[in-house]
Amino acid sequence: MIVKLNDHASPAAKSAILETLARQDYSTRRVSLPFGDFIVGLGDGAGDTTALAALEGVAWARRGAERAVLAGIDASTSRTEVPLGRTSIGGAALAVIAGPCSVEDRDQISTCARFVAAYGATALRGGAFKPRSSPYAFQGLGHEALEMLAEAGKNTGLPVVTEVMEPGEVEPMAPLVDCFQIGARSMQNFPLLREVGRAGKPVLLKRGPSSTMKEFLLSAEYVLLEGNPHVILCERGIKTFETATRNTLDLNAVPVLKAQTHLPVVVDPSHGTGRRDAVIPMARAAVAAGADGLIVEVHPDPARALSDGDQSLTLAQFRTLVEEIRPVAEAVGRRVEATPVPNFGEPRSSGRRRGTGWGAGD
């Protein structure tokens, strides 16, 4: 049960609401968000909205078991913009979050960061803790990678986005992270959602591969319930029978979610296709569908990548991506902020040595 308070609800009114919720068998919590103050009832209470709506200080009361109310389009009178670095996600400027699947070494991430910063990225992604289906596969370099990523972010002025996999890691990671990514496999890791909610930093929440949009929004609701409104929803493909692509990128989710929530929606065409040759067309499509941004995998030398090489763009391809989404963004009334650096130099494949990447002097 979610009760929205009027702007000037008195302490007495709040007490009456809390008592009524308790009498209806709810445990209660106050939630303060930029778009309103709420008192929520958790658990299987009586669900009597009429009694609540009649109380002083109540703007409205809604049941929440079946839908995300705080994340719902009606909860806020304006769309939520999530501040990230010098820009925000959800406004007229498109977010372009780019970087390697995994941070592999200092050279790779700094090369990648400098390049994507120069050509239009608004944030840097890079995995330090990698969830992998096989325990034998490369699982990320951990805290060491986190420091490399933070350094690369600092040097380029880009905020960093990286995945957190367990509640106990949220606090230790927080000083080095600008935005926590919740991976697709963790979309319904509820203890983790609560913990990143409490941390207060922006959360990039990826849709689970078999999660409906409704479940997706309910997972966002877990974060909002902790008083953290800064959730970026990320469509990254769902699991279907099709095998020509790694996942089926469900761009329907862009207009449908935008109609249901005030939160920004970004798209990951890298995981959503799993094929380098489809990433740029689908990035254009995502922007045209109304997405608030993109998150793409870029690697100085995809053939040598320790993970997701097949779907990573080269540095040159990333530049092409930005060039190609700019006119599409304009066609739909958005803009790509970045001014590409014209003589930044050509990216080059790194040759045989793994992870060396595109050299600074080139």
Q: In the numeric block, which tokens belong to residue 261? A: 């929530």
Residues numbered 4 to 33 that lie near a copy of itself (CB under 8 A) are none
Nearest to 270 by CA among 217, 234, 306: 234
Q: Which is nearer to a copy of itself, 77 or 244 (CB)?
A: 244
> Which residues inside 42-101 make contact with a copy of itself, applying CB under 8 A?
42-44, 63-66, 68
Applying CB under 8 A, does 229 fall inside the site for a copy of itself? no
CB of 291 to a copy of itself, least distance (A): 9
332 binds a copy of itself (CB under 8 A): yes
Among 17, 58, 306, 336, binds a copy of itself (CB under 8 A): 306
Return the residue of 36, 91, 167, 227 that touches a copy of itself, per CB under 8 A: 167
Site string for a copy of itself, 285-304 (x = CB under 8 A): xxxxxx--------------
Instruction: List Cβ neighbours of 266 (8 Å cut-off, separation of 6 or more).
Output: 89, 95, 97, 204, 232, 233, 234, 235, 291, 292, 293, 294, 295
Residue with Cβ nearer a copy of itself (80 or 189): 189
Cβ at position 120, least distance to a copy of itself in Å: 16
Using CB under 8 A, pick the residue from 34, 157, 168, 172 that binds a copy of itself: 168
Among 36, 209, 309, 345, interactor with a copy of itself by CB under 8 A: 209
Q: Quote the crossing angle between the two packed helices 253-260 and 276-289, to the nearest 10°.
A: 40
- Site residues for a copy of itself, 134-163, by CB under 8 A, read 134-139
Span near a copy of itself by CB under 8 A; candidates 89-97, 109-117, 172-180, 203-211: 203-211
Angle between helices 106-119 and 143-156 (to 10 degrees): 30
- Per DSSP, the three-state class of 33 is strand
* 9 and 37 Cβ atoms separated by less than 8 Å: yes
Using the structure block, give the residue that is written with the tokens 């409104």: 229
- Residue 297 CB, nearest approach to a copy of itself (Å): 16
Cα separation, 94 vs 340, whole angstroms: 15
Residues 236-265 that bind a copy of itself (CB under 8 A): 238-245, 248-252, 254-256, 259
Cβ proximity to a copy of itself, 86 vs 353, nearer residue: 353
Residue burial 220-254, b: 16+ Cβ < 10 Å; e: rest? bbbbbbbbbbbbbbbbbbbeeeeeebbbbbbbebb
